[in-house]
Amino acid sequence: MPEITQELGQIGMEVYMRLLSVIVPCYNEEENVRDFYDELFKNAAFFQQKELEVEVLYIDDGSKDKTAQEVRKLHEEDNRVRLVSFSRNFGKEAAIYAGLQKCKGDLAVLMDADLQDPPSLLPEMYAYIEQGYDSVATRRVTRKGEPVLRSFFARMFYKLMNRISRTEIVDGARDYRLMTRQVVDAILSMTEYNRFTKGIFGWVGYETKWLEYENVERRKGETKWSFWKLFLYSLEGIMAFSTVPLTVASLMGVLFCLLAFILIIFTIVRKIVFGDPTSGWPSLVCIILLVSGVQLFCLGIVGQYLSKTYMEVKNRPVYLVKEEID
Ligand code: UDP
Ligand code: MG
């Protein structure tokens, strides 16, 4: 008995430091790598006070500039900095997935390299984790500094998405999110190839606190998202988290069948009552065009889902690593 008490005592004496993993996806961010590091460690006093160890995990998503080199330099100065380099550009979703897989922390936070996710928000976020929340997410309430048309379409997308999907996707939600190991593991358990992180966060659930802040403009460099890229990304989101378009396609089919049926009866009745004047072929052409258009549209929707399924079934890796520095 005395032995056990002694042992327990020793465990109790040990100071348990929690490890916070900061995951930073980078694509051509050479100018921001160091700025981000400096800005993050302005919270050094806070990390110390809360007994948080920190690791900064830069995911170099196949950058064509000196991003990896910059991170290597930082690693030489501070071994809390880690690097995972991809063999090519796999996209931010892949970078997030890799970061979550490779991070060792009890807590993990996702942040953009361009400082649009202010590190100064971390103490407030951490306070909510201490209160017992599993994850603390952020959303921007303004879209200041963004083209008007882009904001408009973004709003439309979120409205539509929340109507046709059972997974809640919050308007203005950023990927800036602090979460516990449990949530990280939950996200990692979703091994799908077509990753739409905003949907995945909603899908896994858990107690989430939302913090709001004003949009911050990117520090240096340029955004990697063109309007067209964002548009395709939104389609991806819809397909990953909703099958409503397929239902719409079937409903349209049913509707057109009904319409055709009514027209057939109408034509037969007209023939019996008025004889058969050969008229109306222009309208016939219009109808054929319309209906074949709708058919192609619906086939297209089915094709999109099929192509997603095809990619899933291939079971390709989400990313490939070229270099890793621990
Ligand atoms: N990013 C990435 N891979 C990509 C595109 C972007 O890892 O293919 C990173 C980028 O370096 C940045 C973050 O994702 O840290 C957000 O990108 P960006 O600032 O271009 O997007 P925005 O803030 O304009 O939505
Ligand atoms: Mg940005």
Q: Whose CA is nearest to atom 24 of ligand 1?
A: 223
Provide the pLDDT for residue 14.
Answer: 53
Provide the pLDDT for residue 277.
Answer: 64
> Which of the two residues, 249 and 54, has the higher pLDDT score?
54
Q: State the burial class of residue 19 (Cβ atoms within 10 Å of its Cβ: 0-12, 13-18, 19+).
A: middle
- 8 Å CB contact between 141 and 171: no
Provide the pLDDT for residue 25.
Answer: 95
Provide the pLDDT for residue 4.
Answer: 46
Across residues 256-272, what is the average pLDDT?
A: 80
Ligand 1: residue of 30, 197, 223, 224 to mutate (most ligand atoms within 8 A of CB) is: 224
> H-helix or E-strand containing 200?
helix 197-204
Atom of ligand 1 nearest to the CA of 111: 15
**Maximum average pLDDT range among 47-56, 161-170, 293-302:** 47-56
Confidence of residue 226 (pLDDT cuts 50, 70, 90): confident
pLDDT digits (tens, 9 = 90+) for 84-141: 999 999 989 999 999 999 999 899 999 999 888 889 899 999 999 999 999 999 988 8
Ligand 1: residue of 31, 86, 114, 143 to mutate (most ligand atoms within 8 A of CB) is: 114
**Maximum average pLDDT range among 59-68, 164-173, 233-242, 286-295:** 59-68
Residue carrying structure tokens 């995911």: 59
Return phi, psi of residue 83, to 5°.
-135, 135
Q: State the burial class of residue 114 (Cβ atoms within 10 Å of its Cβ: 0-12, 13-18, 19+).
A: buried
Across residues 231-243, what is the average pLDDT?
A: 83
Provide the pLDDT for residue 164.
Answer: 82
Q: Whose CA is nearest to atom 18 of ligand 1?
A: 223
Across residues 220-236, what is the average pLDDT?
A: 80
Provide the pLDDT for residue 20.
Answer: 93
Confidence of residue 326 (pLDDT cuts 50, 70, 90): confident
Q: Please state, as a whole number, how many other Cβ atoms lie within 10 Å of the Cβ of residue 181.
A: 17
- 8 Å CB contact between 133 and 209: yes
Ligand 1: residue of 22, 23, 27, 111 to mutate (most ligand atoms within 8 A of CB) is: 27
Instruction: Give residues (CB < 6 A) around ligand 1.
Output: 25-27, 29, 61, 89, 91-92, 95, 112-114, 116, 218, 223-225
Across residues 1-16, what is the average pLDDT?
A: 49
What CA–CA distance (Å, rounded) separates 36 from 32?
6
Q: Residue 198: which residues within 8 A CB-CB, separation 6 or more?
A: 169, 170, 173, 175, 237
Average pLDDT for the chain: 84
Does residue 3 surpass a pLDDT of 50?
A: no
Atom of ligand 1 nearest to the CA of 27: 11
Does residue 2 surpass a pLDDT of 60?
A: no
Provide the pLDDT for residue 8.
Answer: 45
Does residue 7 surpass a pLDDT of 50?
A: no
pLDDT digits (tens, 9 = 90+) for 163-222: 887 777 777 788 899 999 999 999 999 888 888 888 888 888 898 898 888 777 777 777
Does residue 238 surpass a pLDDT of 90?
A: no
Sign of the Cα torsion 72, 76, 81, 83 reads positive
